[in-house]
Amino acid sequence: MRRIVYLLGCGKQKKRTGWVGPAEDLYTGALFLKKKSFANLVGAEWWIISAQYGLLDRSTVVEPYDKTISDLSRCDRFLWALGIARGFLFKTCRKQATWIDDPENIVVHLHMGRDYADPVEIALRTAGFSNVLRPVEGLGQGQQMQWYSEDRNIRGGLNSLDYTLVGAVDE
């Protein structure tokens, strides 16, 4: 059976300078809170993608920052994304010195803007994660807010894009 993992893009709105706490509580914007709520409601394993910190476990203690992906050069974006893919590979497929899973067995949902998703998807695919989906690709912020709020998403747990994948997930 394949694992489904959500990668949530960080948000511009954050706690004030001086705050220190778990990454999942750092971001205060409405869209991030909707993504976080949705991931929790569907019971998905989820991580945060941050321009400053890269791949973040939601319990990792962090501080506010002002860096965005647009602050990075094209080359730095690629290196940033490779670091995310490497960390994700080790955190999802390896335990201590033993490989416990294969990237082919993980379905990755990217819930982030295109500036973040493009380099992250390329790096993940390079690392062997071939099942990478972008459920909200092409939707504006308002449309994404609605997508995360729709009854079909909350009641069904998974979005309609996932239903086409259910056979593959349960193989």
pLDDT digits over 65-80, tens only? Answer: 999 999 999 999 999 9
Burial (0-12, 13-18, 19+ Cβ within 10 Å), 71: exposed
What's the pTM value of the predicted model, to 2 decimals? 0.86
List the domain range (segments joined by +) for residue 7.
3-165
Spatial contact of 136 and 109, defined as CB atoms under 8 Å apart = no
Q: Give how many domains the chain has, as a whole number.
A: 1
Q: Is residue 55 part of a domain?
A: yes
Contacts of 95 (CB under 8 A, 6+ apart): none
Q: Is residue 171 part of a domain?
A: no
Tokens of 8: 């949530």
Dihedral, CA of residue 107, residue 91, residue 38 and residue 147, to nearest 10: -50
Q: Is residue 145 part of a domain?
A: yes
Residues of the chain where predicted confidence (pLDDT) is lower than 70: 96-97, 151-171
CATH of the domain at 43: 3.40.50
